[in-house]
């Protein structure tokens, strides 16, 4: 039965208001008519997760109940308005409203609790963030019922996504997707699953990392051996660069899993980086489509590498990252120093690494929010060497942090073995007036990444795009 099954994921803008939810319900219904079995995965309505992040931080630090009240009003208005437009059957409307009311009431209580206690654990933060999807999914399921479909809203855990308790970036430890979802599909019911969230074996709600609804869709597709995973978003596929940054960027009709993985990992926000792996393992095609323009073809991601004369396929960027430079003679011939650096950073997501040719420095790029954790862990690891203290021992002399930087990556399977491409890239960067602070080439050789000042990002990306993609 699953061979004729597809997973459809709709992002925040796609379910951003009542009209959009109606449109999404129609797409799901039409797909069901074509494919027989569909599972929908939905994000929180646009802006809701950001607002939840913001209010949980404010509840902790500002501790002003008026802020919680304003936030609750915003969430209520947004979801009520959506219900009003997306659900035109009185009975269904009342039912959905009841669910939304009780969830918002619960959210309010938790936020008041954080405000009074001044305490926010990673576990309670994940629980707060889960409300975005837990409020949008029942509305989408209600809109489907208004179209005459049978539908049920399910949480990630209820759909069989079982994770560890690494709150904020939980890892999947078990998938019980088939057991949980097949009974609904057999009854012709369309499950509408909350993206972004899973559940631990202890029953705690966890989140899979920002933008993680794409990953949820891939996990469900994997669990059900789906025929296809469709990612419905606000652009017509994966482009040669972020179309918001480079207006001349073009849609890429086809990509290989590896290329898409590199693009996602190095900043193409249109796909969460962890989305590709489950699909690739089972050879499930991923199709990226535009909810606003369903007639557009989108981007198809499969195992096939498109051979064309283009060496460079896309240029991506990562912002909100920092460069950490570790200097010290201890890295010359002292075995184990580098290993110790990485051991110290085992809980930090290191985006790029490069070691200077003199071996006296190592550069790392990490997310802004991980900088303090990284520095503290390095201090802890190297402190005990000489009692004179950190940074004055023989191994590590100094650590510098530069927060005003960004990463640019040039990606394309054709770059493998292509001579002179690195030289060309670096000449163009310098012509764009930017100074390269670090370079790294992925071992897959399908990308070259480098760090420049964030102020030079737009100029540099547009220049590279023009010379390496448009004029080629």
Binding site for ligand ADP (CB under 6 A): 11-14, 43, 211, 233-235, 238-239, 241-244, 268-270, 314
The answer to whether 123 contacts ligand ASP (rule: CB under 6 A) is no
Cα separation, 391 vs 379, in Å, equals: 8
The answer to whether 132 contacts Mg ion (rule: CB under 5 A) is no
Q: What angle do CA 186, 187, 193 make, to 5 degrees?
A: 85
The answer to whether 156 contacts ligand ASP (rule: CB under 6 A) is no
Nearer to ligand ASP, 210 or 466 (CB): 210
Nearer to ligand ASP, 136 or 361 (CB): 136
Q: Work out the end-to-end distance of the chain between its first and last CA atoms, rounded to an integer number of angstroms.
A: 46
Cα separation, 380 vs 378, in Å, equals: 5
Q: Are strands 5-10 and 37-42 parallel, antiparallel or unpaired?
A: parallel
Cα separation, 419 vs 40, in Å, equals: 45
Cα separation, 123 vs 138, in Å, equals: 23
List binders of ligand ASP among 12-31 (CB under 6 A).
12
Q: What angle do CA 127, 132, 137 make, to 5 degrees?
A: 115
Nearer to Mg ion, 196 or 450 (CB): 196
Residue 454, classified by CB atoms within 10 Å of its CB into exposed (0-12), middle (13-18) or buried (19+), is: middle
Q: Which of 18, 138, 191, 211 binds Mg ion (CB under 5 A)?
A: 211
Nearer to ligand ASP, 196 or 257 (CB): 196
Residue with tokens 């670090």: 438
Residue with tokens 């070259």: 448
Which value, in Å, is the radius of gyration of the alpha carbons in the chain?
Answer: 24
* Min separation Cβ 86 and Mg ion, Å: 21
The answer to whether 211 contacts ligand ASP (rule: CB under 6 A) is yes
The answer to whether 198 contacts ligand ASP (rule: CB under 6 A) is no
Asked whether the beta carbons of 51 and 75 are under 8 A apart, the reply is yes
- Looking at 97-105, 170-178, 206-214, 327-335, which segment touches ligand ASP (CB under 6 A)? 206-214
DSSP SS3 for 295: coil
Nearer to ligand ASP, 299 or 337 (CB): 299
From the list ligand ADP, ligand ASP, Mg ion, none, which binds 244 (C-beta under 5 to 8 Å, kind-based)?
A: ligand ADP
The answer to whether 49 contacts ligand ASP (rule: CB under 6 A) is yes
* Min separation Cβ 332 and ligand ADP, Å: 40
Nearer to ligand ASP, 170 or 408 (CB): 170
Chain positions contacting Mg ion, by CB under 5 A: 11, 211
């Amino acid at each position: 039965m699953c061979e004729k099954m597809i997973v459809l994921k709709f992002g925040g803008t796609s379910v951003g208001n009542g009209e959009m939810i109606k449109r999404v319900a129609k797409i799901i219904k039409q797909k069901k008519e074509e494919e027989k079995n569909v599972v929908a995965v939905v994000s929180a309505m646009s802006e809701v997760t950001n607002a939840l992040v913001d209010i949980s931080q404010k509840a902790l630090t500002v501790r002003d109940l008026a802020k919680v009240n304003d936030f609750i009003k915003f969430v209520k208005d947004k979801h009520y308005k959506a219900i009003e437009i997306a659900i035109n059957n009185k009975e269904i409307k009342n039912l959905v409203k009841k669910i939304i009311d009780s969830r918002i009431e619960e959210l309010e209580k938790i936020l008041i609790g954080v405000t009074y206690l001044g305490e926010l654990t990673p576990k309670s933060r994940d629980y707060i963030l889960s409300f975005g999807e837990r409020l949008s999914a029942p509305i989408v399921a209600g809109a489907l019922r208004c179209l005459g479909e049978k539908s049920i809203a399910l949480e990630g855990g209820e759909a069989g996504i079982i994770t560890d308790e690494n709150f904020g970036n939980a890892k999947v430890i078990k998938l019980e997707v088939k057991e949980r979802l097949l009974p609904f599909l057999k009854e012709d019911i369309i499950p509408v699953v909350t993206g972004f969230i899973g559940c631990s074996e202890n029953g705690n709600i966890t989140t899979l990392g920002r933008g993680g609804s794409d990953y949820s869709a891939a996990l469900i597709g994997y669990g059900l051996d789906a025929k296809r995973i469709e990612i419905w978003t606000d652009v017509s596929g994966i482009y040669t660069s972020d179309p918001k940054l480079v207006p001349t960027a073009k849609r890429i009709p086809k990509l290989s899993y590896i290329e898409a993985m590199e693009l996602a990992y190095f900043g193409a926000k249109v796909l969460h980086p962890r989305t590709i792996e489950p699909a690739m393992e089972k050879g499930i095609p991923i199709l990226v489509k535009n909810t606003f323009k369903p007639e557009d073809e989108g981007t198809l991601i499969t195992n096939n590498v498109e051979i064309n004369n283009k060496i460079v396929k896309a240029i991506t960027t990562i912002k909100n990252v920092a460069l950490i430079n570790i200097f010290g003679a201890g890295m010359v011939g002292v075995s184990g120093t580098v290993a110790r650096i990485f051991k110290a950073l085992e809980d930090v997501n290191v985006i790029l690494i490069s070691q200077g040719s003199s071996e006296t420095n190592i550069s790392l790029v990490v997310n802004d929010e991980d900088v303090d954790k990284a520095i503290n862990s390095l201090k802890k690891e190297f402190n005990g060497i000489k009692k004179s203290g950190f940074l004055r021992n023989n191994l590590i002399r100094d650590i510098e942090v530069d927060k005003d930087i960004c990463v640019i990556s040039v990606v394309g399977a054709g770059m493998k073995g292509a001579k002179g491409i690195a030289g060309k890239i670096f000449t163009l960067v310098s012509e764009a007036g930017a100074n390269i602070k670090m370079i790294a080439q992925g071992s897959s050789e399908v990308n070259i990444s480098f760090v420049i000042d964030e102020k030079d990002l737009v100029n540099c990306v547009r220049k590279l795009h023009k010379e390496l993609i448009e004029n080629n």
